[in-house]
Structure 1
Amino acid sequence: MKKWSGRFKKKLSKSFIKYTMSITVDKRLALIDIICNIAHCNMLGKIGILNKKEKHKIVGILKRIFKKIKNKEIKWRKELEDIHLNIEKQVIKKNKKLGLKLRTARSRNDLSTTELRIWVKNKIRKIFRKLKALVEIIIKLSSKSKKIIMPSLTHFQIAQPIILSHYWLCYKNMFYRDIVRFKNSYKLADYMSLGSGAVSGTSFKIDRIYLSKKLRFRKISSNSIDGVSDRDYVIDFCFSCSMCMLHISRLCEEIVIFSSKLIDFISIDERYCSGSSMMPQKKNPDIFEVMRSKAGIVISGLISIIVIMKGLPLSYNKDYQEDKQICFNTADNLVKSVEILSKVIEKIKFKKNKLKRASEKDFSAATDLAEYLTKKGIPYMKSHKIVSRIVSKFIKKGNFREINKRDLKKVTSNKYVIQFIRNYNTYNIINKKTSIGGTSIRQIKKEIKRSKKELKKLTI
């Protein structure tokens, strides 16, 4: 069978068909293919290539095929290679004369990328909604956590005490940036390629502005070579998905660590954990481990599409066929991960007492003591040395409160040190962090309020 033209005399090799066909993947674009073909036929009718009767007939056929696809009544033929030839064959089957006119003034090259652009845009809208819902949940968790003290960590060592709300707002910022990234990815996908032809445009006086309005594109590709060969929007979409999965993975990693009995800061809802086939006592945070691994799969998709594109000459190459599978897998993994994460984080219980005790270990108030001394007129470098000497001497104590006054005086006679140690409490230390972005309750309340307003304004 010769699918393209009379150029070939020999029958196609079965192994060639099997290896190069993409219908098992791009059948997901079937409904979009119909929509693009309907818009194209309406345009051909508008410019007089199809008469009114022909246009109505072919559009009617396409609409009936659309219904059949929705009802799963069409069996896709692998020997027809891809979704475009399969649907074209369906039209020819209904009306050969009209079906043969379907390709006029277009190529599979410009049709394929236009359909993928529409798919990416639709998927971004879905991801956009789900990420906004996730951020709303995180903001709610932050609002409920203003009285819970926890340790912050640097180098995975206890650093300074913070409020749990502040921790959640950090992840709010990450996912908010993801939403902004997807908004930008949407703009890059929002260029219509249809009308670029195979590579150089077409001599038919087509109306691309009409097409772009029908297919809801805000912009039209301005160069036919770029129109069929540009996959920057795919790479950018995969990058946005990868960054989002990276953020999900970081949160999952911390939840896995925090739920370990070695640390025991949190408890995960049993509905999202598994046991062990051998060890009766086990409660494993499987859902977070799976999400963590999905991040690797999504990021590998980004690397794959970059490697595919890195050495391709202009313009269209069959290599582009692989972009769809990467796009579909990447988006599927991300959407499922965002959905499940939104459910499970609401059910996590934080162990307040353990978090507070941990936040006071390992001289977590040391920086605050150094800052206190600086406010009393001692240069910070000198304050740092004084506090370092105290910590070094009493390292086994782990907390300033455990040091008695007599032993302290052997290391320093500074009255402000003694004053600080006698009077400080963790909650007051936290609430002194009033700089913009700090962990004080005052700043947290402001940030929650600002975040809600910002999120409402964010639209595609």
Structure 2
Amino acid sequence: MWGGRFSGGPSAIMREINASIPFDKRLWRQDIRASKVHVAMLAAQGIVSEADAEAISGGLDTIAAEYEADGVPENLDLEDIHMTAEARLTELIGPVAGRLHTARSRNDQVATDCRLWVREACAEVDAGLAAFQRTLLARAEEHADTVMPGFTHLQAAQPVTLGHHLMAYYEMARRDRSRFADAMARADECPLGSAALAGTSFDLDRERTASELGFARPTANSLDAVSDRDFALDYLMAATTASLHLSRLAEEFVIWASQPFGFVKLSDAYSTGSSIMPQKRNPDAAELVRSHAGRIAGCMQALVMVMKGLPLAYAKDMQDDKPPVFEAHDLLALSIAAMTGMVETSDFQTGRLRDLAAGGHSTATDFADWLVRSLDMPFRDAHHLTGAAVKLAEQQGCDISELDAAALRGLDPRLADADLPDLSVEGSVASRMSYGGTAPTRVREAVKRAREDMT
């Protein structure tokens, strides 16, 4: 490719470091699609003949069929997917293949291919997250009445319902989907026709090219178009946030499946055993999802560091944009599928969840709220009195909900004639009727609303 300017070939090391075909071969579908649209536009503009355009398009179809059947060959001398496809096209149709690269550069070519790939990746992730949401909704509805401990600082705080807990992850996934939708919207501009950096002197129809490739518009500045990788960063940042949410749920499954908690029994399909301890049932899928979040965040940081100090326009550093995007996408898709499967197949131990929800004086706040409502007590006074009740319960070796009326009334004379509240965990969750609260009625409403939003 450099024969007109260089008299010698690259060293073996240069040949290896310069080649990207081992990873950018993944772009072959996008590359051939964009090339076909480009040459059709060239013909429509009278820049190449119809006959040449038909020969090129037919050759590209042949190459696509070959790659689909046998994969993309890796010849480091050809460097990348663009030259690999062009070399094969030349073998198939001869010198006319050289007309394909009229009015374009590998700079705008790869930027276009990558945008097409990232948009498709966003759509794939969105479909996976939607399936994850539907699974969460099904299990949340099933467990709208299942009482469990709610935690802060991993300490028992207040009782909640399992359905409400699962719906929290539905909301996280909803925000994740919105981030990928935003990434797709910002990537909805076509770089093709920007050439190397300055545009081209050929009379192109960039609006046609953009439209036929499914973009809303062509990019507005050729320098920016070939050097922009914001769309890849947007994808990686959205992927990082999504992976953090999956990791949080994975961590909860790891904790919940442990014997001290015993909240859930993971299915055989998402568990492994031990090579030495026959009794073991390890939550390996959840642990790997948790680990994948770190790798995905690392991919995001890797591209940030590649791009952080690059002057305009294109630099070879940007060849390293693709491996982190590809790796993050594969890990995220696998993590979404794994967590969807775990949620769907897990056996939640409802009796154990209810028993532990009642521990740790979890309805103490209900008592304080009752004092405010029934006795018109300032909340700080109610908080103090409730703390005294908790202390008394600990001295008697019972939960606050188990204190008898005489014990409670002995704490404050204002309680002498009051009808004491129901401090059961069922009464507690049923009372949390504020919008977005954990009451079973609210959970069912949230599930119904969510299903309507997803239709």
TM-score where L is the length of structure 1: 0.95
Aligned-partner Cα distance in 2 for 1:63–1:401: 74
The 2-side partners of 1:313 and 1:202 are apart by: 21
Sequence identity (%):
32
Distance between the aligned counterparts of 2:417 and 2:429, measured in 1?
18
- Aligned counterpart, 2:215: 217
Cα shift at 1:392: 2.2
2:206 paired residue number: 208
Tell me by how many angstroms 1:54 deviates: 1.2
2:27 to 26, 29, 35: 29
Partner of 1:87: 85
Helix, strand or coil at the partner of 2:322: helix
Q: Structure 1 residues 198, 358: closer, same or farther in 2, change over 3 A?
A: same
1: CA distance, partners of 2:353 / 2:322: 46
Aligned to 2:129: 131
Tell me which of 330, 335, 345 is aligned to 1:347: 345
Q: Distance in 1 between matches of 2:217 and 2:49?
A: 28
Letter in 2 for 1:434: M
Corresponding residue of 1:430: 429
Report the equivalent of 1:40: 38
Q: Secondary structure at the match of 1:159?
A: strand
- The Cα offsets for residues 395-433 of structure 1, whole Å up to 9 and x where unpaired, read as 253512433444444433332797335x43321221111
CA distance in 2, matches of 1:332, 1:73: 19
Amino acid corresponding to residue 400 of structure 1 in structure 2? I
Name the CA distance, whole Å, in 1 between partners of 2:253 and 2:364. 27
1:77-156, aligned counterparts within 5 Å? 77-156=75-154
What is the Cα deviation at residue 285 of structure 1?
Answer: 0.7
- 1:373 and 1:416 in contact (8 A); partners too: no
Q: Name the SS of the counterpart of 2:112 in structure 1.
A: helix
Which residue is 2:412 aligned to? 412
SS of aligned partner of 1:411: coil
Corresponding residue of 1:390? 389
Question: Residue 361 of structure 1 contacts residue 398 of structure 1 at CA under 8 Å; is this kept in 2?
Answer: no
Tell me, yes or no, if the aligned pair for 1:405 and 1:418 is still in contact at 8 Å: no
Residue of structure 1 equivalent to 2:365: 367
Name the structure 2 match of 1:400.
400
The 5 A counterparts of 1:155-174 are: 155-174=153-172
CA contact (8 A) 1:252 1:288 kept: yes
SS of equivalent to 1:71: helix
Deviation digits for residues 171-204 of structure 1 (CA, Å, limit 9, x no counterpart): 1000111111111111122110001110010000
Q: Which residue of structure 1 lines up, in the alignment, with residue 65 of structure 2?
A: 67
Gaps of 5+ in 1: none
Partner SS for 1:420 = coil
Question: 1:280-338 CA deviation, whole Å, 9 max, x = no partner?
Answer: 22111111001110111111001111111111111101111111111111100111111
Which amino acid counterpart does residue 271 of structure 1 have in structure 2? A
SS at match of 1:160: strand
User: Match of 1:390, as an amino acid?
Assistant: A
Pairwise CA distance, 1:355: 0.9
Q: C-alpha distance in 2, partners of 1:224/1:416?
A: 80
Task: Kindly provide the amino acid, as one letter, of the partner of residue 36 in structure 1.
Answer: A
Mapped partners of 1:238, 1:395: distance in 2: 50
TM-score (norm 2): 0.96
Could you say if the C-alpha distance between residues 130 and 424 of structure 1 is closer, same or farther in structure 2, counting changes exceeding 3 Å? same
Distance (Å, rounded) in 2 between the aligned partners of 1:434 and 1:236: 38
1:275 pairs with 2:273: yes
Give the SS at the match of 1:102. helix
Q: Distance in 2 between matches of 1:437 and 1:332?
A: 34
Instruction: Tell whether the 8 Å contact from 2:405 to 2:420 is kept in structure 1 after alignment.
Output: no
- Within a 5 Å distance, the mapping from 1:178-327 to structure 2 comes to 178-327=176-325
Distance between the aligned counterparts of 2:145 and 2:72, measured in 1?
Answer: 59
Using the TM superposition, name which of 202-211 and 270-279 deviates more. 270-279
Alpha-carbon distance between aligned partners in 1 of 2:379 and 2:48, rounded to the nearest angstrom = 81
List alignment gaps of at least 5 residues for structure 2: none
Contact 1:373 1:417 (C-alpha < 8 Å) held by counterparts: no
Which residue pairs with 1:453 in the alignment?
A: 452
Instruction: Look up the equivalent residue of 1:143 and give its one-letter code.
Output: E
CA distance in 1, matches of 2:3, 2:276: 63
CA contact (8 A) 1:362 1:398 kept: no
Following TM superposition, by how much is the alpha carbon of 1:39 offset from its aligned partner in structure 2, in angstroms? 0.8
- The secondary structure found in structure 2 opposite 1:161 is strand
Range moving further from structure 2, 165-174 or 120-129: 120-129
Distance in 2, Cα, partners of 1:416 & 1:275: 58
SS where residue 395 of structure 1 aligns? helix
Distance in 1 separating the partners of 2:418 and 2:412: 9
Instruction: Say whether 1:56 aligns with 2:57.
Output: no
SS of the residue 1:276 aligns to: coil
1:31–1:66 CA contact under 8 A, matched in 2: yes
Q: Distance in 2 between matches of 1:310 and 1:165?
A: 43
Deviation (angstroms), 1:46: 0.7
**Equivalent-residue separation in structure 2 for 1:402 and 1:40 (angstroms):** 77
Q: Secondary structure at the match of 2:157?
A: strand
Give the match's secondary structure for 1:7.
coil
Q: Deviations over 1:61-117 (max 9, x none)?
A: 111111111111653311111111111111122233212212110000000010010
Secondary structure class of the residue paired with 1:283: coil
Range 85-94 or range 292-301, more displaced: 85-94
The letter of the residue matching 2:445 is: K
Paired letter, 1:380 = F
Amino acid at match of 1:86: T
1:216 aligned counterpart, secondary structure: coil
Specify the code of the residue in structure 2 equivalent to 1:431.
Answer: A
Q: 1:93 to 1:417 in 2, by over 3 A?
A: farther
Determine if contact 1:152/1:162 at 8 Å carries over to the other structure.
yes
Matched position secondary structure for 1:162 = strand
Compute the displacement of 1:271 (Å): 2.5
